[in-house]
Amino acid sequence: MTRIQEALLLAAVLIAIAVLAVFDIIPQAVAQFAPLAVVPWIIRRDSTCAARKA
């Protein structure tokens, strides 16, 4: 999966969680902490996207 696809998937998941919270399908307290749930996913990524040394 490319980085663009990963970013689009992540955005789609977060938008879906927000929409579910707006329609009271999931509690707002759960939705407000959803971005914190993706922190381990971001950390596990390799460091190839880090800035290159000149």
pLDDT tens-digit readout, 7-53: 888 889 889 999 999 999 999 998 999 888 887 877 776 656 555 55
Position 43 scores a pLDDT of 74
- Number of domains into which the chain is organized: 1
Position 50 scores a pLDDT of 56
Q: Is residue 50 part of a domain?
A: no
Q: Rounded to whole angstroms, how far apart are CA atoms 43 and 31?
A: 21
Q: Is residue 54 part of a domain?
A: no
Position 44 scores a pLDDT of 74
Position 41 scores a pLDDT of 75
Q: Is residue 31 part of a domain?
A: yes
Q: Is residue 52 part of a domain?
A: no
Q: Is residue 53 part of a domain?
A: no
| Amino acid found at 50 | A
Position 16 scores a pLDDT of 93
Q: Is residue 35 part of a domain?
A: yes
CA proximity to 14, closest of 31, 30, 27: 31
pTM value is 0.69
Q: Give the domain extent around 27.
A: 3-45
| Amino acid found at 28 | Q
Distance of CA 47 to the CA centre of its chain: 17
